[in-house]
Each structure stands twice: as C-alpha cells, then as structure tokens.
Amino acid sequence: MKNRREFVKEMVAGAAVLGTGAQFALGDTKTASAATEKSKVVIVRDAKLRTPGPSPDEKRVAAMLDHAMQTYFNAQNPVQPWKQLVRPGQVVGLKLNCLGRALSPNVALVAAICERLQQAGIKAGDILVWDRGSRDLQAAGFKLSNAPGRVRYLGSDTAGYEDATVGYGAVATRLSKILTQCDVTINMPVLKNHNLAGVTMAMKNMYGVISNPNAMHGTACNPYIADLNMIPEIRQKVRFVVGDMLTAQYEGGPSYRPEYTWNEDGLMVGEDRVAIDHTCAQIIERKRAEKGLGTLEQAGTPAHYIATAADAQHRLGTNDPARIALIEHSIA
C-alpha cells in the first residue's frame, strides 16, 4: 500500500487529476521522461472468471474492473477512480477495438465502465462508445444508438471525419469527428498479435480514429504508430487505457483466429501507452514460446514501434522494465 500511495503522489505532482482543474494527461512528456518516476501498469486476473460456463461471468468482469481501477488509483471505493479521471460536464468516449468482431472488448466490461462514469457524474448522453466501423460494433454485440439522453454507440463511418488534415512525422490524416468532440477518451483495446506490427494494443488502436489507416502499415507500422500517437488530439485526449485481456491472441492477428487464442482472463489498466504495449509484447512473446513459435522478430513482425514511441523524439512513455511498476493481482 505504501508503494502505491507514493506512486500516486508522484503522478499527481507531475500531472494533476482533472478534478483539480488540471489535465490528467496520458503520455505527458514531463511525467514520462522523469528519471525518478515509474509508470504503473496494473493487471488483474480471475481464475474463476468463466465459472460455471465458457463465457466470462458479467459480475466477475465488473469486479475485476473495480479491483484494477482501485488498485491503480489507490482508491477506497469503486467510483473514486472515475472521479479522478473525468469530471461532470465532459463528453467521454470509449474507443473500442472491434475489428476482430468475435475478439472485441467484452460487452459487460463496457457496460460496467458506462455505469461507473455515470456514478462519477457524467451524463449518459455524454458517453460515446465507438469504433471505426458501425458494422464491427454490431458484430461485436453492441446495439447502435444515437438517441439523446442515452449512452451512444456509433461508428466513425457514420459520424464522419474532420475536413482538416493533421499530422506528425510520417503521418498525415483526418481525425474522427467522434474523437474531436470528446473531452476525454478511454482507450479500450484487446490484447492481440498483429501480422505486421507484432502487437496491437494501446497505441495501434489509434488506427481506428483516423481516415486512412491503410496508408500506415509499411515497415512494420514503424514509425507510423508512434507518430500517430504524437498528434495533439490523440496524445492529449486519450488519457487512460482499459485493456481487455479476457481472451487474447498470440498469432494470426489482427483478424480473429480462434486456433491462436487463449483465455488470459485478465484486465490491464494504466496511463503510459508505451509501458502497456511493452508489457503486452512480453505476454505475447511468452505465450508464443509456450506454443513452440519463434519470437515476433523471428516471425518478421517485430514490435519496433514500441521503442520508437519511447525514444527521445517521441517520449510517449517508457519501454524500460526498470521504469515500469508492474502490479499483478489475482482475485478469487
């Protein structure tokens, strides 16, 4: 408990929470580059998540979310973390990754976050659950809706993209109008292998907020992923990651390949998008070794974008294990 309190104290000193009127900024340069600080990544797993059936139990999914968030924010109750992350009057987006359709953020997990956001003072109509494609959302089990006063579920293909082109480095693109109208975006990726980039988790999920992701897949998506995450609207608005690790995939991604999936039965939360992707790469590498597969590098799909995102030019976070405070809990 002492270490968690000390960490939160350091984080608040570097990037104050929104409740005080300052930005709680994911990837803040000052926070990510301070040599004396560590980036915290919390993983919570539940070995009984699928008891008694093959599908995750909805109540246990919600309990895992609360445990992960309270651990990360050192909070005494399950609503307090969300009050630190958002404030009433803001428009909050939940950016999903439903490209895999059958391997998408769990519906109960999304519902639990929407409930906690409302308990923290966010109006239902100010919550946008979204992804790039409307059909992908539907195929993942979400019902499209843009009704006023209710949580909205929609795709960028319906909402459209901004006319202005923005960019950084090798990237030039147009942003989803959903992203630009949100004050805060919670990044909700799924742990998967990617057949070019090696890993798709926090940073690669931002390909789903732009108009031309297909133009950014050369050279193992490097430096495109890192450059994309440097665009101010992405770097500043996308402030927290709630990663779905209930079912994960170690080969054949990003499309759903059930023969390469496994039940990790976990959630991962954190602010540092680089530390999260680095941690996920290690998990995938371990699973590949367990299954007798070569490393991502040997497979020709190196996750080099992670080091690029951590370099002196980008400073989006850290990939140095010595500067990552990984906290792993198991709940019964």
pLDDT value for 85: 98
pLDDT of residue 219: 97
Distance CA 324, CA 272 (A): 9
Kindly indicate the confidence band of residue 31, based on its pLDDT and cuts at 50, 70 and 90: very low
Burial of 24 (0-12, 13-18, 19+ CB in 10 A): buried
pTM score, two decimals? 0.90
Q: Which one is predicted more confidently, 29 or 106? A: 106
Specify the pLDDT at position 36.
Answer: 63
pLDDT tens digits, one per residue of 162-194: 999 999 999 999 999 999 999 999 999 999 999
Q: Which amino acid is at 158?
A: T
- Residue 198 — pLDDT band, cuts 50, 70, 90? very high
> What is the C-alpha to C-alpha distance for residues 306 and 304, in angstroms, rounded to an integer?
5
Q: Name every residue whose Cβ is closer than 8 Å to that of residue 21 and which is 6 or more positions away in sequence.
A: none
Q: What is the pLDDT of residues 263-280, one digit of tens each?
A: 999 999 999 999 999 999
Contact 98, 110 (CB under 8 A): no
pLDDT recorded at residue 16: 31
Indicate if the pLDDT at residue 25 is higher than 90: no
Question: Residue 332: which pLDDT band, with cuts at 50, 70 and 90?
Answer: confident
CATH fold label, 2-331: Rossmann fold (3.40.50)
pLDDT tens digit string along 282-295? 999 999 999 999 99
Domain boundaries, the chain: 2-331
3-state helix, strand, coil in the chain (%, to 5): 40, 25, 40
- In tens, the pLDDT along 312-321 reads 999 999 999 9
> Could you give the angle at the alpha carbon of 252 between the alpha carbons of 228 and 93, nearest 5°?
40
**Which position has the higher pLDDT, 32 or 264?**
264
Mean pLDDT of 19-37: 41
